[in-house]
Structure 1
């Protein structure tokens, strides 16, 4: 069964009502975002572990026909359903809208995993109200897994509520990051300090790491050199699961953030790690 069919209508609480004005609009965005996530899988998965044409972009990162086709599909669906909304995607840039809402999409987060046959790549979909992420999806097509969150409504994993876990000290924390090679210069010194303090480190996973954090399987994720389409969908999922996600200065994430991201399941761990990362 498509995951969208298993997403229940959310109970409406105060904070999101202020953004969406009425429950019908919230329901429309919820239903639509999950439906296009289901459909984008049908575009991506036929390419997975099959012959691919791989190109290198200007930043040397790989891109495939699956990335491009999935983003074009998502952009077209959004513009047909919500023509007033803006759309910003990794492969085709920014189309400005006339409303206060902007969709930020990454068709395949973790393209290197995708082309390597590893199943931990994901599709990221964020909805921003002005500059604040208010809805987020991490969809993992190869594993049939999805995290969904809307501001004020909690985080769902395949339709069931999830929460981060408690951890009172950075020294007790389990930490995830994609690769230590993404930390350069002064950032590498900060990485070494955090990695030398936590209980354990695990590498790889891209957006999947943040879903695991939201579900209580890790305590800390921190990364550098991310783009808005890499991190904006993650913010509602972490926050609505009870965690914290900011830049390395402790500021909320937005389209204009630096790309230095830290997410924690427990505020104590977040503040302790920020003490190191702020230096």
Structure 2
């Protein structure tokens, strides 16, 4: 079977986001019930319902593609194309009926993220990107800001509690050098970077591929740079801390501050 063009896959991704958004809104406005997995992470009805339904759609539309989801794991991950789903990124916030959560949908080609959607279904805000097709917010083309100096940057840093002690010093160094710092924006911070509202995003080591893959095309198609804390490109196999910036120059400045410190946290 020949590979589908990315615009066709992007249509599928939008369809998936529509389905996920409808379920998320239904559950969010209903009674708040949050369970917890064995590892202590939160789980809601929306997480399992969304992923179950999206897998059904993908198995019908793209039966030759693999799927990796947060709740039900991976299937056929050796395929040329693999979809990556985080049904609710920010489940604790969702469970508390806060709005800083999103639905993440990605497509990887030979392990490299080439398509991504960050969707906030309550706000009706959808960032969609595909390699060679640019990035949009609700259908309007967007781009990252051309900030090159950390001293002029608005920085988004993940929940400070997600940084182990040995990683807090480099994260704090970036925050102190920035013009303004906001915290715990989750996946929506990467969308804000793509539309020129945030210049740099920093996450600690608690990320998995389903957290990472969708934000990569959104940042890159907006003109930004995104890597792990060692400067490596992000792939389907990536996990841990990541750094995204609006420009290569800004990324280099932030990366320099990270690597000035004792790298005991580097695996």
- Give the TM-score range, shorter chain: over 0.9
Deviation at 1:220, TM superposition (A): 0.5
How far apart in 2 are the matches of 1:230 and 1:98? 20
Aligned to 1:132: 112
How far apart in 2 are the matches of 1:203 and 1:54? 23
How far apart in 2 are the matches of 1:98 and 1:278? 34
Deviation at 1:140, TM superposition (A): 0.6
Q: Which residues of 2 match residues 244-255 of structure 1 at below 5 A?
A: 244-255=225-236
Is the contact made by 1:84 and 1:98 (CA closer than 8 Å) also made in structure 2?
no
Deviation at 1:98, TM superposition (A): 6.3
Deviation at 1:115, TM superposition (A): 1.5
Change in CA separation of 1:98 and 1:263 when aligned onto 2, cut-off 3 Å: closer
How far apart in 2 are the matches of 1:193 and 1:26? 40
Structure 1 stretches lacking a partner, 5+ long: 1-20
Deviation at 1:97, TM superposition (A): 5.4
How far apart in 2 are the matches of 1:255 and 1:99? 12
Change in CA separation of 1:98 and 1:173 when aligned onto 2, cut-off 3 Å: closer
Determine if the alignment matches structure 1 residue 112 to structure 2 residue 111.
no
For these two proteins, the number of residue pairs brought into alignment is 259
How far does the alpha carbon of each residue in 1:165-212 deviate from its partner, in whole angstroms, 9 at most, with x for none? 011211111101231111113111111111111111111221111000
TM-score (norm 1): 0.89
Change in CA separation of 1:86 and 1:107 when aligned onto 2, cut-off 3 Å: same
Is the contact made by 1:85 and 1:98 (CA closer than 8 Å) also made in structure 2?
no
Aligned to 1:54: 34
Match of 1:158 among 113, 132, 138: 138
Match of 2:45 among 65, 72, 75: 65
How far does the alpha carbon of each residue in 1:147-179 deviate from its partner, in whole angstroms, 9 at most, with x for none? 000012111110010000011211111101231
Structure 2 stretches lacking a partner, 5+ long: 261-267
Aligned to 2:210: 229
